[in-house]
Chains A and B, each alone.
Chain A
Amino acid sequence: MIFSRPNLFTFFRTAFLKAILLLGLCGCAILHKVQLSDIDNRSQFVQVPFDVKVSETGVDVKDIERLGRASGSQAGNDIGNVAALVALFQMGPRSGAPVFSEKYAEKIIYQIHQQCPSGNYSGVTSIRETRKYPVISGEIVKVTGFCLREKKGASL
Chain B
Amino acid sequence: MIRIFWPGLRRCVLIGKKVLCGLLLLLASGCAYSVHQVYVSDNIPFAALENGEVVKGQGEQFVIFSFTFDSDYVEKARQDLISNCPKGRLTSITTQHSTSLGFFSWTNKVLIQGLCVSNTKT
> In the complex, are there CB atoms of A and B closer than 8 Å?
yes
Q: Which residues of A contact B98 (CB under 8 A)?
A: 102
Q: Which residues of A contact B103 (CB under 8 A)?
A: 88-89, 91
Closest B residue by C-beta to A40: B44
Q: Is the interface of B mostly helix, strand, loop or mixed?
A: strand
**B-side interface residues, number (CB < 8 Å):** 46
Contact A109 B40 (CB under 8 A): yes
A-B contact pairs, 19 of them (CB 8 A): A75-B17, A78-B21, A86-B25, A86-B28, A89-B29, A89-B103, A90-B101, A93-B99, A94-B101, A95-B35, A96-B35, A100-B31, A105-B38, A105-B96, A106-B111, A109-B92, A119-B43, A121-B42, A122-B44
- The residue that B28 contacts in the complex, of A59, A101, A122, with Cβ under 8 A, is A59
Q: Is the interface of A mostly helix, strand, loop or mixed?
A: mixed
Q: Which residues of B contact A106 (CB under 8 A)?
A: 96, 111, 113
Residue B6 at the chain A interface, CB threshold 8 Å: no
**Min CB gap B57→A, angstroms:** 13
Residue A43 at the chain B interface, CB threshold 8 Å: no
Q: Which residues of B contact A118 (CB under 8 A)?
A: 46, 48
Q: Which residues of B contact A96 (CB under 8 A)?
A: 34-35
- The residue that A108 contacts in the complex, of B38, B109, B114, with Cβ under 8 A, is B38
Contact B37 A35 (CB under 8 A): yes
Contact B37 A32 (CB under 8 A): yes
- The residue that A128 contacts in the complex, of B35, B43, B46, with Cβ under 8 A, is B35
**Min CB gap A118→B, angstroms:** 6
- Report if A124-B111 is in contact (Cβ < 8 Å); known contacts: A91-B104, A106-B96: no
Q: What is B's interface to A at a CB cutoff of 8 Å?
A: 17, 21, 24-25, 28-44, 46-49, 51, 54, 63, 92, 94, 96, 98-106, 108-109, 111, 113-115
Q: How far is the CA of A41 from the CA of B63 in the complex (A)?
A: 44
- Report if A33-B36 is in contact (Cβ < 8 Å); known contacts: A82-B24, A119-B43, A120-B46: yes
Q: How far is the CA of A56 from the CA of B34 in the complex (A)?
A: 11
Q: Which residues of A contact B48 (CB under 8 A)?
A: 113, 117-119
Closest B residue by C-beta to A112: B40
Point out which of A32, A88, A90, A92 has the most chain B C-beta atoms below 10 A from its C-beta: A92
Contact A102 B35 (CB under 8 A): yes
